[in-house]
Amino acid sequence: MKVYEKLLLENKAWAKEQVEDDPDFFARLEHLQTPEILWIACSDSRVPADRITGTQPGEIFVHRNIANMVVHTDLNLLSVLQYAVEVLKVKHIIVCGHYGCGGVKAAMSQNSLGIINKWLRNIKDVYRIHKDEVESHKTESEKLNRLIELNIIEQVYNLAKTSIVQSAWKHHQLPHLHGWVYGLNNGIINPIFELEAGSAIDPFYTYDNL
């Protein structure tokens, strides 16, 4: 059996199981999407959002990219963010990275990887800002994992710097922002940072006419 054929077989078995457990499962979800959480995470295949959080279809709205970046010119991320905040009115946005992230590791190296250099450049900027702290750690993996944490915090701030989030904070006192890091070695999520709706951010990045 080809690897993709197994996916289709597993899908049939899964759909059957859902209906056996809960006959209204698909009928309920078909016309309604009311997730309270937007989940922004790494594309890494080892970090499946619903599996590691025990959430069901309909519970989290998901955006994934290499190294869970919030890039202010990324039309894809911004479209997801605007829809989640303004239409779905999510209450929480979680940026979830993971220790040992290959994207962050590549950004710390001096290897040219082609077009992905452009993407990783955003992480290099975070590295430059926090270089002293990152370099104060002893081993390469400690340095990498600290940069992964600092990068998460930076991405949470990047959310707060958008007019989308600032406008929602002003008019709805939502969403709250969270920065988490998942451990590939033990499956545990480490919540490292939070920005409650309405938190003060650098005036350099605030808009006053929203």
Binding range to Co ion, per CB under 5 A, among 42-50, 85-93, 127-135, 170-178 = 42-50
85 binds Co ion (CB under 5 A): no
Spatial separation of the C-alpha atoms in residues 44 and 4, rounded to whole Å: 19
**CA separation (Å) from 101 to 110, 144, 156?**
16, 8, 17
Catalytic position from the list 46, 72, 121, 172: 46
Reduced to 3 states, what is the DSSP secondary structure of residue 176?
strand
42 binds Co ion (CB under 5 A): yes
154 binds Co ion (CB under 5 A): no
Residue 24 contacts by C-beta under 8 Å, 6 or more apart in sequence?
none
From the CB of 109, what's the least distance to Co ion, in Å? 14
Catalytic position from the list 63, 96, 101, 130: 101
Spatial separation of the C-alpha atoms in residues 3 and 124, rounded to whole Å: 36
From the CB of 54, what's the least distance to Co ion, in Å? 21
Site map 97..116 versus Co ion, x via CB under 5 A: ----x-x-------------
181 binds Co ion (CB under 5 A): no
- Determine the size of the site formed for Co ion (CB under 5 A): 4
Reduced to 3 states, what is the DSSP secondary structure of residue 87?
helix
Instruction: Specify whether 96 is catalytic.
Output: no
Binding range to Co ion, per CB under 5 A, among 19-27, 37-45, 52-60, 126-134 = 37-45
Spatial separation of the C-alpha atoms in residues 132 and 126, rounded to whole Å: 12
Instruction: Specify whether 44 is catalytic.
Output: yes
CA 45 to chain centre: 14
Helix (H) or strand (E) holding 194, with range, is strand 189-195
From the CB of 66, what's the least distance to Co ion, in Å? 7
Instruction: Specify whether 24 is catalytic.
Output: no
Instruction: Specify whether 63 is catalytic.
Output: no
From the CB of 106, what's the least distance to Co ion, in Å? 10
> Cα dihedral angle (155, 158, 164, 168), rounded to 10 degrees?
80
As annotated, the active-site residues are: 42, 44, 46, 98, 101
Q: Which residues make up the interface to Co ion (CB under 5 A)? A: 42, 44, 101, 103
